Chain A
Amino acid sequence: MPDRQQTFARVLEQIQPFNKKGVEVTEATRFAADLEWDSLTVLDFVANIEDEFDVIITMNMQAEIENVGQLVDALGKLTAGK
């Protein structure tokens, strides 16, 4: 499986516990608008993603990430050197 797809699969796994409405998640799925996450859910989810990928996603970066695809891109960059 290519890296990007693998990252997407791992992100998907992290989304599921917070996907209370059972939304079908694609790269275009938006965290606030589609998954209807509030800021507290986002904080919890980000903490889990950080631990899963052993990275830091600062709040400054989070402000630029609206959908799943953008998160996968950001994780690709953050883990590039690892």
Chain B
Amino acid sequence: MTDLFAKFQPQIDLRDGLLESGVTDPFGLVMERVESPTVAICNGKRTILLGTYNYMGMTFDPDVIAAGKQALEDFGSGTTGSRVLNGTYVGHKAVEQALKDFYAMDHAMVFSTGYQANLGIISTLAGKDDYIILDIDSHASIYDGCALGNAQIVPFRHNDVEALDKRLKRLPPEAGKLVVLEGVYSMMGDIAPLKEMVAVSKAAGAMVLVDEAHSMGFIGEHGRGVVELQGVIDDVDFIIGTFSKSVGTVGGFCVSNHPKFEILRLVCRPYVFTASLPPSVVATAATSIRKLMDSADKRAHLWENSKRLHAGLRQLGFTLGTENPQSAIIAVIMPDLEKGAAMWEALLNEGLYVNLARPPATPAGITLLRCSLCALHTEDQVGEILGMFAAAGRATGCIS
């Protein structure tokens, strides 16, 4: 008998080797208690959270929690059904209305996760003879959306407008084309030159989808993302987003002004053949989205935090993913996996949680410590975080 697990042996060996060195398993952390969007108890120790994507700190917002409790009381714990059968409650329509209002768009479709939103929309929109042109550093959910569908897949070099333009021009002019971009790339925290990319895509007759998972709520005047910041929101055809970052719960969505958008509810398999979100989740999401519309102060504070951490880490001598702070993600580049794991553990011992990210999630085979800031991190906490990075960096020899 062939053991179907044989193909995983390289990963098993890599993991065993890492754990044998005595380092704590960086992918086995358990949060024992969560005190706030910025603090949890891990291994009995108070730990500042700097790797949760909880950008706007909505997870403990009293209005959000109250809305969830009320929905749990009124509508029960789950829908036990697909959106197109018994799984659409008033709450699902309400959260879709909140999204339409938030983005000022005509249509909104809510999926059970952000991953499923990309999976569903991308695989359904692009058919067999169509082309999907995507950035090489696209998120796994985008690649998986491509793999689920039958379209022809054309990747181009990360954030390279010329590479995109050249490929668009080589494709048959009459073919259907979907260009897939992200506002913020989650590994390095860099933003895309959407203004130029959307322009060349439109010139080539392509439809454009932008994943704004990591920008919703704080980039752009109304928090609509990099598309808003760069003034191209009216030129993009689809925006994909998630409830599991700034919104503070779970779920995914697509918003669009396309007049025929609603048909997707019947033809998109990852929408149809799965259970809809529980009533409490859509109630918390709707409340949170409406509050995010009016969060200019929190946005400003989040940017301050991001700038201060970026400048502070650079000053300590760390290599960062971007020259300047472009989002609420700051990637600290590690020389290798062993050093990265050691630094991750040293930070945890200091009382700080960040994400250890490594290939294949990261580009170019690098290991990095990814930090994502929250609007509720206080000035003191950012100071504390920098102190922890200094101590852990020196202890592990990452900085001198």
Q: Point out residues on A near B: beta carbons under 8 Å.
A: 38-40, 43, 47, 50-51, 54-56, 58-60
Contacts and interface: CB of A to CB of B under 8 A. Distances in A.
Interface residues of B, dominant DSSP: mixed
Given A39-B360, A40-B364, A43-B136, A58 B154 contact: yes
Contacts of A55: 170
Contact of B153 (A40, A51, A54, A59): A59
B157 A47 contact: yes
A55 B146 CA distance: 21
A40 B171 CA distance: 23
Nearest to A78: B170
A58 B166 CA distance: 14
B258 interface: no
Interface in B355-388: 359-360, 363-365
A19 B287 CA distance: 55
20 contacts: A38-B365, A39-B360, A40-B359, A40-B363, A40-B364, A43-B136, A43-B155, A47-B155, A47-B163, A50-B166, A50-B167, A50-B170, A54-B170, A55-B170, A56-B154, A56-B170, A58-B131, A58-B154, A59-B155, A60-B153
B156 interface: yes
B152 interface: yes
Interface residues on B, range: 10 to 19
Contacts of B167: 50, 56
Nearest to A59: B153
A26 B235 CA distance: 48
Interchain residue pairs A-B with the least CB separation, the first 10: A59-B153, A58-B152, A56-B170, A43-B136, A58-B154, A58-B153, A60-B152, A56-B154, A47-B157, A56-B167
A45 to B, nearest CB: 12
Interface residues of A, dominant DSSP: helix
Interface string B125-160: 000000100001000000000100000111111000
A59 B360 contact: no
Contacts of B152: 58, 60
Given A43-B155, A55-B170, A59-B146, 10 more contacts: A39-B360, A40-B363, A47-B155, A47-B157, A50-B166, A56-B170, A58-B154, A59-B153, A59-B155, A60-B153
Nearest to A41: B365
A47 B156 contact: yes
Contacts of B136: 43
A60 to B, nearest CB: 6
B15 to A, nearest CB: 18
Contact of A56 (B171, B360, B363, B364): B171
Contacts of B364: 40
Nearest to A38: B365
A39 B154 CA distance: 15
Between A43, A54, A56, A60, the greatest number of chain B beta carbons within 10 A of the residue's beta carbon is seen for A56
A50 B146 CA distance: 20
